[in-house]
Copies of this chain bind each other. A is one copy, B any other.
Amino acid sequence: MSTIGFIGLGIMGGPMAANLVAAGHTVLGYDTRQEAAERLVSAGGAYAGSAAAAAAADVVITMLPDSPQVEQVVLGPDGVLEHAKPGLLLVDMSTIRPDTSVAIAAAARERGVRALDAPVSGGERGAIDGVLSIMVGGDPEAFEAARPVFEVLGATIVHVGPSGAGQTVKAANQLVVGGTYALVAEAIVLLEASGVDPGPALDVLAGGLAGSRILELKRKSMVARDFTPGFRIDLHHKDMGIALAAAREAGVALPMTGLTAQLIAAARANGYGPLDHSVLLQVLENLSGKAAS
């Protein structure tokens, strides 16, 4: 069992760190919010007074909101790299821009630190149950070294390529998810405006080539206009920004993704940021002037 520094103990990081404690690892956690740190301590972890202190571990996991926070914690003054011991395994599980992950891996290499980008999907529920999907970019050896840790946290663990590849796959995932919600929303808007009961209609769609995990899991809640998160629009809005930045970096044009990003931006602009991303249905209803049901 290794000593694991865990920086970022929020909705996702909190239960992930607790699962590592439960699996027998020594976890040195850090978060700027006192109550997050306290939750870890009551779960059996130890509180590292700073990111630097957490960096003294064999493995450091970061689970932070966005690129700037990761850059600051890892690359900044008194950051992880400054205090890392040689051979440290640095696993960033945040969802950030692929090019930031590449830059971090390069900076880490100079310090003798092995870095992986390992964003996840599966949400709070997946974090609590330890069944996340983990998309990992970086050196295969580093991936193998981190595997025992990943196996505590996730059910699907895939090495998808070199540094940044984990983030690229996450970006691809999010653009497909966001776009699929928008398409299902348009289908519901069309059905209802045509006087067709969406219940049995979506059952048919779910059973054929139009079928998707989203139709399977969310069609009933969408028709009922239950937009309890789940995964919040605010986060998906951030992720669409990453997807478009990744496309820009890769030199490709993604028109469906560009439009999806604007629809998700519209959701946020309407104050739906804290709601589930399936609230795209409400955006598309509003667009056609339909009153919320």
- Bound-complex Cα distance A98 to B270 (A): 22
Q: CB-defined interface of A144-188 with B at 8 Å, one 1/0 digit per residue?
A: 000000000000101111101100110111111101101110110
Q: Find the B residue at minimum CB distance from A176.
A: B210
Q: Given known contacts A253-B284, A255-B255, what 10 new A-B pairs fall within 8 Å (CB)? A: A156-B207, A160-B201, A172-B190, A179-B182, A186-B255, A248-B265, A251-B268, A254-B262, A256-B256, A258-B261
Q: Find the B residue at minimum CB distance from A99.
A: B194
Copies in the complex: 4
Q: A197-B161, A204-B156 are in contact. Are A186 and B263 (CB under 8 A)?
A: no
A194–B250 touching, CB < 8 Å: yes
- Bound-complex Cα distance A150 to B134 (A): 45
A121–B209 touching, CB < 8 Å: yes
Q: CB-defined interface of A198-217 with B at 8 Å, one 1/0 digit per residue?
A: 00110111011111111001
Stretch from A28-36, A75-83, A84-92, A238-246 forming part of the interface with B = A238-246
B246–A269 touching, CB < 8 Å: no
Q: Which residues of chain B have C-beta atoms less than 8 A from A160's C-beta?
A: 196-197, 200-201, 204
Say if the beta carbon of A43 comes within 8 Å of chain B.
no
Say if the beta carbon of A259 comes within 8 Å of chain B.
yes
A183–B175 touching, CB < 8 Å: yes
Q: Which residues of chain B have C-beta atoms less than 8 A from A270's C-beta?
A: 288-289
Q: Give the distance to chain B from A211, nearest Cβ to Cβ, in Å.
A: 4
A175–B168 touching, CB < 8 Å: no
Q: Find the B residue at minimum CB distance from A203.
A: B158
Q: CB-defined interface of A99-140 with B at 8 Å, one 1/0 digit per residue?
A: 000000000000000000000011000000000010100000
Say if the beta carbon of A191 comes within 8 Å of chain B.
yes
